[in-house]
Amino acid sequence: MGEPKNELQWVWNSMPKTEDKNLSLMSVAEVEKAKAFHKSFPQYEETPLRDLKEMAAYLGLGKVCVKDESYRFGLNAFKVLGGSYAMARYIAGELKRDVSELPYDVLTSEKLKEEFGTATFFSATDGNHGRGVAWAANKLGQKSYILMPKGSTETRLNNIKAENAEAYISDVNYDECVRRVAAKAAETEHGVVVQDTAWEGYEEIPSWIMEGYGTMALEADEQFAERPTHVFVQAGVGSLAGAMVGYFANKYKDNPPVMVVVEASAAACLYKGAVAGDGDIRIVDGDMDTIMAGLACGEPNITSWDILKNHVSAFISAEDIVAARGMRMLNAPLKGDPQVLSGESGAAPFGALATIMTQDAFKDLREKLCLNKDSKVLLFSTEGDTDPERWRNIIWEAQER
C-alpha cells in the first residue's frame, strides 16, 4: 500500500478473486442491446471523445482521451443512460416482452400507456441520477419522486423539478435517502425504486442501470479505436466503475487495460474495502462532505463490488483539491487541445492522473501502474457544470467550497 499523502492515498488490489459471476452483466452483447435502446431516442447523439494530444505530451503519456458527457441528452451528465434503460427493462418485464420490442416510439405510445398504465419511479440522488430518472419518466409519460441528501443545491433540485418530478432536499445523507425512498416506494401503488446501488434483495434494477451505462463505454471504445492500456474511472457506490471495468474486462479478456478507480476521500468505501484486503464491503457513514457530490456515497453496490474486486489494479482516495485540479486543467486546456467542460465528480479521474504524473510523491504508484510514454489512457468526464455557480467558484474564484 502507498504511504498516505496529502492529496491522494492508494492501495494495490490484493483482494481474493471470486468466481466473477457478475461479469457477464457487462458482456458486449448486453451493452450493445442497451445502446440500441438509447439510439431509439430522438434526442440521442454520441457524446464526443476528446483527444488531449498536448496534455498527453505534457504528462509524459502516449495518449489521453476523455469522454465528454456534458453533451448527453442535453442533461449535462451521463446518468440518464442507466435510469432510462432500467425503466424500459422494468416496463418490458411487466409486459412480458423483450426490451428490444420497446424502443422510444413504442414506450411513448398511447397503446403502451393502455397496456402498462402509470408507475411512479423513486430515486435518491445528489442531482444527476435523479434528473435522469425524472427526465426519462417525463418523456415516457410516467411519474417520478426524487429525494436529495442534505447539502444538495437548489440549482440541482430545480433541474429535477423542471422534469415534472416531485422532488425534495432532505436532512439526511445519500445512503439514508436511499432507505427512505425504498420505504416510500413500498407503500405506493405501482411504486418502483430506480437506484444504482444494489443490496441483498435489490439487484436486478441496479444491474440494468449498469448495462445502461455501458452505452458510454461502448461509444468510447469505438471512438478510441484501439485497446486502451489504462482506464481511469470514478466511483460513488461503484455502479459506473463496475460498468466501465466490466465492459473493458469483457471486451479485452486476454489483455485487459490496467483499471484504476478514483473516489472522494470523504466517501472512499471501495478504497477502504481494498485496504482491508479481505474482499468484504466497508461502509462510510456521516456527512461525507466533498465537492464531488456525485461520489458522496458510502455504501457500495454489491454487484459492481464483485466485478471491481476481480479486475481493478488500484483504488485511489482523492481529496477535493485533486478534483479541482482536474477541473481547471480540463477547462483551461493547453493550446491545441479541446476544452472539456468538466464538473467536480467528472474531473476526479483526470485530476488523479495528472497528480500521479506530475508529483514526485507518487513516483512509486506511477511506476507500479506502468504509466509512461507508451501509455494510452481513457477517462470519463461524467458531468459538465451541473451546478454552474459552484463550477464558477472553483474555476474562476479558486474556491473549493
Give the domain CATH number at 179.
3.40.50.1100
* DSSP for residue 201: T
What DSSP assignment string belongs to 132-200?
Answer: HHHHHHHHTT-EEEEEE-TT--HHHHHHHHTTT-EEEE-SS-HHHHHHHHHHHHHTSTTEEE--S--BT
Residue 353 included in any domain: yes
Q: Please give the single-letter amino acid code of residue 41.
A: F
Taking the C-alpha atoms of residue 278 and residue 281, their distance in angstroms, rounded to an integer, is: 9
Residue 200 included in any domain: no
Residue 138 grid coordinates: 417525463
Q: pLDDT (tens digit, 9 = 90+) per residue, 347-400?
A: 999 999 999 999 999 999 999 999 999 999 999 999 999 989 999 999 999 887
C-beta neighbour count of 23 within 10 angstroms: 20
Torsion of the alpha carbons at 214, 127, 195 and 274, rounded to the nearest 10: 70
**Is 222 found in the same domain as 157?**
no
Q: pLDDT (tens digit, 9 = 90+) per residue, 143-155?
A: 999 999 998 999 9
Contact of 236 with 318, CB cutoff 8 Å: no
Residue 343 included in any domain: yes
**Is 317 found in the same domain as 287?**
yes
Least trusted range by pLDDT, from 68-72, 212-216, 261-265, 295-299 = 295-299
Grade residue 136 by pLDDT with cuts at 50, 70 and 90.
very high
**Is 210 found in the same domain as 191?**
no
> Of 195, 221, 239, at which residue does a domain stop?
195
Q: Which residues contact 43 (CB under 8 A, 6 or more apart)?
A: 73, 74
Q: Which residues contact 93 (CB under 8 A, 6 or more apart)?
A: none
Q: Look at strands 8-12 and 314-318 and give their pairing.
A: antiparallel
Quick one: average pLDDT of 56-63?
98
Known catalytic residue at 171: no
**Is 314 found in the same domain as 220?**
yes
Q: Please give the single-letter amino acid code of residue 302.
A: I
* DSSP for residue 336: T
Residue 249 included in any domain: yes
Q: pLDDT at position 401, please?
A: 63
Q: pLDDT at position 4, please?
A: 44
Q: Which residues contact 133 (CB under 8 A, 6 or more apart)?
A: 80, 83, 87, 121, 123, 125, 144, 146, 165, 194
Quick one: average pLDDT of 78-101?
97
Taking the C-alpha atoms of residue 172 and residue 159, their distance in angstroms, rounded to an integer, is: 20
**Is 332 found in the same domain as 218?**
yes
What DSSP assignment string belongs to 356-385?
Answer: HHH-GGGHHHHHHTT-STT-EEEEEE-BS-
**Is 349 found in the same domain as 273?**
yes
> Of 141, 175, 195, at which residue does a domain stop?
195
Residue 260 included in any domain: yes
Quick one: average pLDDT of 20-49?
98
Residue 92 grid coordinates: 418490458
**Is 68 found in the same domain as 85?**
no
- Which of the pair, 3 or 44, is modelled with greater confidence? 44
Taking the C-alpha atoms of residue 301 and residue 311, their distance in angstroms, rounded to an integer, is: 16
CA distances from 227 to 102, 221, 245, 310, 399 (A): 33, 8, 13, 19, 37
Q: Would you give the end-to-end CA distance of the chain in angstroms?
A: 30
**Is 229 found in the same domain as 185?**
no
Residue 197, φ and ψ in degrees, nearest 5: -110, 135
CA distances from 84 to 91, 108, 131, 213, 338 (A): 11, 13, 11, 10, 30
Average pLDDT, the chain: 96
Which residue is listed with cell 440549482?
155
Known catalytic residue at 126: yes
Q: Structurally, how many domains does the chain consist of?
A: 2
Q: pLDDT at position 127, please?
A: 81
**Is 337 found in the same domain as 233?**
yes
Partners of residue 260 on adjacent β-strands = 232, 314
Q: pLDDT at position 231, please?
A: 99
51, pLDDT greater than 50: yes
**Is 300 found in the same domain as 156?**
no
Q: Which domain holds residue 191?
A: 80-195
Q: pLDDT at position 101, please?
A: 97
Taking the C-alpha atoms of residue 340 and residue 171, their distance in angstroms, rounded to an integer, is: 33
> Which residue in 67, 68, 126, 320 is the catalytic one?
126
> Which residue in 79, 139, 272, 309 is the catalytic one?
79
* DSSP for residue 15: P
**Is 335 found in the same domain as 219?**
yes
Residue 214 included in any domain: yes
Residue 401 included in any domain: no
3-state SS of the chain: helix, strand, coil percent to 5? 45, 15, 40
3, pLDDT greater than 60: no
Quick one: average pLDDT of 126-147?
94
Taking the C-alpha atoms of residue 309 and residue 23, their distance in angstroms, rounded to an integer, is: 11
Grade residue 5 by pLDDT with cuts at 50, 70 and 90.
low
78, pLDDT greater than 90: yes
Taking the C-alpha atoms of residue 97 and residue 295, their distance in angstroms, rounded to an integer, is: 35
> Of 195, 217, 245, at which residue does a domain stop?
195
**Is 246 found in the same domain as 132?**
no
Q: pLDDT (tens digit, 9 = 90+) per residue, 249-277?
A: 999 999 999 999 999 999 999 999 999 99
Residue 3 included in any domain: no
Chain mean position to CA 354: 20
Taking the C-alpha atoms of residue 74 and residue 77, their distance in angstroms, rounded to an integer, is: 8
Q: pLDDT (tens digit, 9 = 90+) per residue, 308-348?
A: 999 999 999 999 999 999 999 999 999 999 999 999 999 99
Q: pLDDT at position 126, please?
A: 84
Q: pLDDT at position 6, please?
A: 84
